[in-house]
Amino acid sequence: MSRRGQLLLLVTFGVLAASSTLAYMSGYQCAPCRPPATLPQPGSGVTQELDAQFAGSSDRRVAAEFETELTDSSERQLDLDTRLEASLAEIDRLKQKMEELTKERTTLMERVRTASANLQRCKSRAELAAQERCANDQRPAMQPATVDESAAKAAASTFLNQTSVILMASKPEIASAGATADPVANILILTPLKNAELHIESYLSKLDRLDYPKTHISIGLLVSDSQDGTFDLVQSLLPELQSKYRSVRLVRKDFNFRLGQQERHEYVVQPHRRAILAQSRNILLATCLRDERWVLWLDSDLHFFPSNLIQQLLQPEKPIVVANVVLALGGGVYDLNSWQQTPESLAYEEKLPRDQLLLEGYETSMSPPRGINFFRDNPDFGDGQATVELDAVGAGALLVHADLHRYGLNFPSYPFRHRIESEGLGQMAVAMGYRPHGLPHLEVVHL
């Protein structure tokens, strides 16, 4: 561009600049530069209303979200409360179950302690008795575990022969056992009682029907560990009884040993129960025996015995005689303590420790069947005979010559030849040289 053109362009820009300056100074603004007439200004009423509307919309949204979250939280809390209640109920149930198990455990532990104490007591008494008998014990050596029939018979024969040799030298002499020598001999009837309130009067009525002269009958009763009114009832009947009989004595001795009616026949309690019963009988015997010739042991819960019971027991003229105690006349045998040894049972016992206790009628691992002869197992046992020889007796209806008791025959409360109580008495009588006899056809009914 020429110099002239440049100058012309500068002049044009200068004019325009001057025009703009004048326009600005005169207050004129061009349309594009003016703010729009419809745009609300900050702080105006329009912007305040918009702010309020926005704020309200935001609060509702937050409130809705909070209400939803609160509802969810309430539902979760309700579920947790329900689960907590169920857990507390389960805890209560478990606590109750734990208490029941604790009580059961306590009961079982008490029974274990009692059984252990009884076993220890029996062992101590057995050891003492073994020491006392050791000098005279000449039984043959222990037989092998397997014994054939001939060996069993030989063992039985050797045992019986040696025993008789040992004992016959010291066999006590007793007065004539025959009924004919003293047909009205004085009789002492002994009966232990325990919780017998319901049947004691019936029992005394049966005694009253005996046709043996009451002036020759003495009665001894021992009440032990009764939880009913047995003692008070018998005590109230004493004046009437004493007016009928030669004498009546009432003894009370508690052993703090209690069993239910169902428990008394369970195998596990028999050692302790029979030991306590043996002690009861011995105390009763020592307290009541005076000058009587015979002692008749009777259970209080007998349902029936004949009025001539005493005469029938005296008739065989034997020092120890036992009746057949049954469940019903002509029915099954109740008392399994009256039995007869066999070669098989004798051979079995030769293998046992000295203090091993055997209980007949309980077929367990501790007392397995051994070929014992019971009235029950042999319908023709004693058939055609008035009496049969026995090696052990029950005491449900048992007649014993009083002199044998005076010479020391009693009811052992520890294992004597593996037996206890009345079975032990039978074995002790055999050891003294007086074998018991049974009357299979004289039946006495037990409740």
* Mean pLDDT across 303-329: 95
Q: For residue range 50-94, list pLDDT tens digits in order.
A: 556 655 666 677 777 777 878 888 888 888 888 888 888 889 888
Residue 42 has pLDDT above 70, yes or no: no
User: How large is the average pLDDT for residues 301-317?
Assistant: 96
* Segment 373-383, tens digit of pLDDT: 666 555 555 55
- Sketch the domain layout of the chain as residue ranges: 68-128, 149-446
Q: How confident is the model at residue 168 (pLDDT cuts 50, 70, 90)?
A: very low
CA distance 233 to 251: 13
- Quick one: pLDDT at residue 148? 46
What's the pLDDT score for residue 255?
A: 92
Please, is 235 exposed, middle or buried when counting C-beta atoms within 10 Å of its C-beta (0-12, 13-18, 19+)? middle
Annotation: CATH topology of 149-446: Spore Coat Polysaccharide Biosynthesis Protein SpsA; Chain A (3.90.550)
The pLDDT of residue 185:
94
- What confidence category does residue 279 fall into, taking pLDDT thresholds of 50, 70 and 90? very high
* pLDDT recorded at residue 68: 83
Q: What is the pTM of this model?
A: 0.61
